[in-house]
Amino acid sequence: MPYLEITGLGKRFGSADVLHDVSLTLNQGQILSLIGPSGGGKTTFLRCLTFLETADRGIIRLNGETLFDAAQKKAKGKRPRQQAFGLVFQAFHLFPQYTVLENVALAPALAKKGTKEALRAKALTLIEKVGLADKADSYPNTLSGGQQQRAAIARALAMEPDVLCFDEPTSALDPLLTKEVLNVIRLLREEGRTMIVVTHEMTFAREASDQVAFLFGGTVAELGTPKEIFETPRTEALQRFLQQ
């Protein structure tokens, strides 16, 4: 049985059927890259997964547990367990009034995940892991984009999400900073974290992921290993997408 199982996810905004029928599975410890043309619904998909939007149709199952089922969401009426999925935003969205350390430690403290000292120590470990040990007490506006994004990754990790999602984590960064962020994601992969990464970095998708999904026309038009997707694309749409 797959770790993450998404079946028939659908989302429309008014008359625009953005996600039509998105289904995919992912094993624990794997990293899935999500590629596709702009406006294809990649962000919308991640937002449904992290419950920032409520999908109109579909089921999300994680580790055997049904986290979301559009058919019974009204009947159940309870808020989905939001922290199952972490999200790293394209534009970071760090809390500007807090230092890096405070940004990382805030949510776990509010969720009473441990004593103050324990949470602080854990936050510092995460900050060190993303290579920001010397910036723990800095405010976000004094950091480079790459540093801010790494801080945002540490913040997301602090809530111990089962699946960590990234929405184009490097598209606001220049190439040099892109590398340092992608290296952190590679490091997390070695730790065996389950991740979904929306990306335009084809080299990264090819080298660093276990699975690649091509989102087109509101569905997963192709799903396969990087080798399958990049070397033997089956659909014409993917062939065209890879050529540009």
Ligand X SMILES: Nc1ncnc2c1ncn2[C@@H]1O[C@H](COP(=O)(O)OP(=O)(O)OP(=O)(O)O)[C@@H](O)[C@H]1O
Footprint on this chain of other proteins (rule: CB under 8 A) = 50-52, 82-83, 85-87, 89, 91, 93-97, 106-107, 110-111, 139-141, 155-156, 159
Decide if residue 170 touches Mg ion (CB under 5 A): no
Measured from the CB atom, the residue of 146 and 233 that comes closer to other proteins is 146
Q: Minimum Å distance from CB 238 to ligand X?
A: 15
Measured from the CB atom, the residue of 143 and 182 that comes closer to Mg ion is 182
Distances (CA, A) of 236 to 32, 186, 215, 240: 22, 30, 13, 6
Nearest residue to 45 via CA among 179, 220, 211: 220
Count CB atoms within 10 A of the CB of residue 141: 8
DSSP run (H or E) holding 183: helix 175-190
Binding mask 43-62 for ligand X (x = CB under 6 A): xx------------------
- Asked if 94 and 42 touch (Cβ cutoff 8 Å), the reply is no
Binding residues for ligand X, how many (CB under 6 A)? 11
DSSP run (H or E) holding 157: helix 145-158
Binding residues for Mg ion, how many (CB under 5 A)? 1
Look up tokens 């999200």; give the residue: 87
Q: Minimum Å distance from CB 208 to other proteins?
A: 23
Q: Minimum Å distance from CB 65 to Mg ion?
A: 28
Stretch that binds Mg ion, among 1-9, 36-44, 66-74, 112-120 (CB under 5 A): 36-44
Distances (CA, A) of 18 to 131, 163, 173: 37, 23, 27
Rounded Cα distance between 181 and 168, Å, is 11
Measured from the CB atom, the residue of 95 and 207 that comes closer to other proteins is 95
Decide if residue 199 touches Mg ion (CB under 5 A): no
Strand partners, 186: none
Q: Which of 4, 6, 9, 18 binds ligand X (CB under 6 A)?
A: 18
Decide if residue 40 touches ligand X (CB under 6 A): yes
Give the interface with Mg ion as residue ranges (CB under 5 A).
43
